[in-house]
Amino acid sequence: MIVATAVPLALLCLIVVLGRNARRLAPLIIAALLWGFAVTWPLVTVNSRWVQALGVTSLIVLGAPILEEIGKALALPFVEISHRCSWFVDGAVLGLAAGTGFAIRENWVYLQGAGAEDGLGLAIARVSSANLMHAGCTAIVGAAIIATAGRRWFTRIPFTLGALLVAMTLHSTFNRLTQHDGVSALVVTLVGVVVFAIAAALVALGIPLSARWVRDDLAQQGASASEQAALGGGGNVDALLDQFEGRYGAEAAAKAEQLIKIQRTLAISHHSGRADVAELAALELRVNDLRRDIGLFAMMWLRSHLPVDDMSGGMWSHLDEGISAVPAGAPLTDDSAAPAASGLWARLSDVGGAPDAGGAVGVGPAEGGRDGGQV
């Protein structure tokens, strides 16, 4: 029972980590997992009636693939309305969770009918084959449902039904192989692994795809090619953040890491079409707030230590544009003995800084925020 429960859950956690969305999707993952677990009860009754009407063989190769794939996926159209689901990777993860919940409950049913001597062998056989198949098939359907969310019905319905047909076909093929005496257990296991690998590949595809989206968004902000690669997931960003933490502290490093993550979420929201204007505005506001909280000097250090080409510009290179020396004899302002602010210094006052008694300009939020640094 421990093997039949812990191994599928461990594999699910592995894929969730691969998708980089554990915290955001946690409530929906739990809901999908519980749905897959609970739907086994009505399916047992329906399967029994199918056997009585059409026989065991018909159930194995036709009835079970149809009924079980529909049952496992029924909850997915309801969870997709949540704004926590932003793109197809989320759908694959939620489908994987529903399939895992179903597989665990089905493991328990099979183990209840097995003898004590056969229990461990049965559990190992199922978690290495049938469980992988169940999780992988539902992940394919989940990815299709979320990928077409918001599109017109004549696109969404055929795409979803096509994915469901693929899942049923894979399920039926797996079941057919288990019924042939000439097929080895290794072949059956390999089929289960391949189906699960398809689901894992859908999730893994999100890593380079989201990185490209981030680079596209950063390019629109004026980032150089190497900055796009670094903030988009390329380069040794972890090592950079470690150095950043040593210089500016754990709090600033945590904000810098959060800034990179939110930049990724913002890019996915832009390209997936799942976020509304208010959500995009909130994310952009959060990005700006984080930059201010990190502070000018820290942001300049971060920019200068990214693996950038010295000859290229970059999204922060404009900070020093417009700073010009004040020629001798320049007119002074009416209320100060210092020359009027210009260039960078004038811009700093636009984000809430103001000269203090010592002549320093605070760089931080206009109200109630932490100072991001002092110039």
15-35, pLDDT tens digit by residue?
998 887 778 899 999 999 999
Query: Cα(345)–Cα(65) distance, rounded to whole angstroms?
Result: 67
Question: Which residue, 94, 195, 97, is CA-closest to 146?
Answer: 94
The answer to whether residue 216 sits within a structural domain is no
Domain span at residue 368? 322-375
How does residue 374 score in pLDDT terms, banded at 50, 70 and 90?
very low
Are 87 and 173 part of one and the same domain?
Answer: yes
List of residues 6+ apart from 219 with CB closer than 8 A: 228
Are 123 and 227 part of one and the same domain?
Answer: no
Query: Cα(201)–Cα(81) distance, rounded to whole angstroms?
Result: 24
**Segment among 89-98, 138-147, 272-281 with least mean pLDDT:** 272-281
Among 298, 320, 342, the domain boundary falls at: 320
The answer to whether residue 138 sits within a structural domain is yes
Query: Cα(176)–Cα(98) distance, rounded to whole angstroms?
Result: 23
What percent of the chain is modeled with pLDDT above 90?
Answer: 42
The pLDDT value recorded for residue 347 is: 47
Among 275, 300, 320, the domain boundary falls at: 320
The answer to whether residue 201 sits within a structural domain is yes
The answer to whether residue 76 sits within a structural domain is yes
Calculate mean pLDDT across residues 349-360: 44
Question: Which residue, 213, 244, 207, 206, is CA-closest to 228?
Answer: 213
Cβ–Cβ < 8 Å for 21, 30: no
Are 192 and 326 part of one and the same domain?
Answer: no
Are 192 and 287 part of one and the same domain?
Answer: no
Are 192 and 66 part of one and the same domain?
Answer: yes
3-state secondary structure 91-121: HHHHHHHHHHHHHHHHHHHHHHCCCCCCHHH
Are 110 and 199 part of one and the same domain?
Answer: yes
Q: How far is CA 177 from CA 56, 87, 168, 172, in A?
A: 15, 34, 14, 9
Statement: residue 365 has pLDDT above 50: no
Among 211, 241, 265, the domain boundary falls at: 211
Question: Which residue, 81, 69, 85, 77, is CA-closest to 36?
Answer: 69
3-state secondary structure the chain: CHHHHHHHHHHHHHHHHHHCCHHHHHHHHHHHHHHHHHCHHHHHHHHHHHHHHHCHHHHHHHHHHHHHHHHHHCCHHHHCCCCCCCCHHHHHHHHHHHHHHHHHHHHHHHHHCCCCCCHHHHHHHHHCCHHHHHHHHHHHHHHHHHHCCCCCHHHHHHHHHHHHHHHHHHHHHHHHHHHCCCCCHHHHHHHHHHHHHHHHHHHHHHHHHHHHHHHHHHHHCCCCHHHHHHHCCCCCHHHHHHHHHHHHCHHHHHHHHHHHHHHHHHHHHHHHCCCCHHHHHHHHHHHHHHHHHHCHHHHHHHHHHCCCCCCCCCCCHHHHCCCCCCCCCCCCCCCCCCCCCCHHHHHHHHCCCCECCCCCEECCCCCCCCCCCEC
With b for 16 or more beta-carbon neighbours within 10 A and e for fewer, the 312-334 pattern comes to eebbbbebeeeeeeeeeeeeeee
Are 245 and 109 part of one and the same domain?
Answer: no
Residue 19: exposed, middle, or buried by beta-carbon count in 10 A (0-12, 13-18, 19+)? buried
Cβ–Cβ < 8 Å for 298, 201: no
Q: What is the pLDDT of residues 62-101, one digit of tens each?
A: 999 999 999 999 999 888 787 778 789 999 999 999 999 9
Are 206 and 305 part of one and the same domain?
Answer: no
Are 255 and 373 part of one and the same domain?
Answer: no
Are 72 and 179 part of one and the same domain?
Answer: yes
Calculate mean pLDDT across residues 43-72: 95
Are 302 and 184 part of one and the same domain?
Answer: no
The answer to whether residue 35 sits within a structural domain is yes
Q: What is the dihedral of CA 178, 179, 184, 185, to 10 degrees?
A: 30
CB atoms under 10 Å from CB of 338, counted, come to: 10
CA–CA–CA angle 104, 106, 111 (5° rounding): 95
Q: What is the pLDDT of residues 160-207, one digit of tens each?
A: 999 999 999 999 999 999 988 888 899 999 999 999 999 999 999 887
The better pLDDT of the pair 155, 351 is held by 155
Are 333 and 192 part of one and the same domain?
Answer: no
Average pLDDT of every residue of the chain? 79
Number of structural domains (the chain) is 3
